[in-house]
Structure 1
């Protein structure tokens, strides 16, 4: 085998190895994307549940009497703050 042929064979081997490694990396990236998608769906479901809870609490707040107003405002603020915090965290993960 000539030096030229040896060099070409060596380069082909190295490129083949890199392509195999690249394929493995691509598979891992696809797995990560799939797991991130599942996390995204889970997080969105939790955010939607918190949104529903906040809307329900708002309806309770609207219907509450003066005697429970201060307590309901405090509850509403807790629900809202939790929802805002969860949303901000979710957004920061994207």
Structure 2
């Protein structure tokens, strides 16, 4: 397996894991009070949007030519890191 294939597989696995964690958090938020639920649902929508962006960028990365691969990896890392940061912050807000 090439480095490129290993990298894209690693990123896909990370995104899949975080999407599973989002699903788990969403289930936990169903138990919260109505006013908090509105806030959580809005934050959950933002996380889903970031996840969709990361998945789309991963697809671009898979299709990227060798000349743009390095630039695309840097962009993917930024998107993934922002997604992970947002997820971690949201998770810390759920009690």
TM-score range, shorter chain: 0.5 to 0.7
Normalising to structure 2: TM-score of the pair? 0.64
Deviations 1:10-56 (A, max 9, x none): xxxxxxxxxxxxxxxxxxxxxx9322111100000000000000000
Q: Which runs of 4+ in 1 moved over 4 A?
A: none
Following superposition, the deviation at residue 82 of structure 1 comes to 0.4
Q: Report which of the two structures shows the higher radius of gyration computed on alpha carbons.
A: 1
Matched residue, 2:73:
73
Consecutive unaligned residues in structure 2, runs of 5 or more: 1-31
Aligned counterparts, 1:8-87, within 5 A: 33-87=33-87
> 2: distance between equivalents of 1:69 and 1:51?
21
How many angstroms apart in 1 are the aligned matches of 2:40 and 2:87? 12
- Across the aligned residues of Structure 1 and Structure 2, the Cα RMSD in angstroms comes to 1.3
Question: Could you tell me the TM-score, scaled by structure 1's length?
Answer: 0.64
Taking the aligned partners of 1:70 and 1:36, their CA distance within structure 2 comes to 42
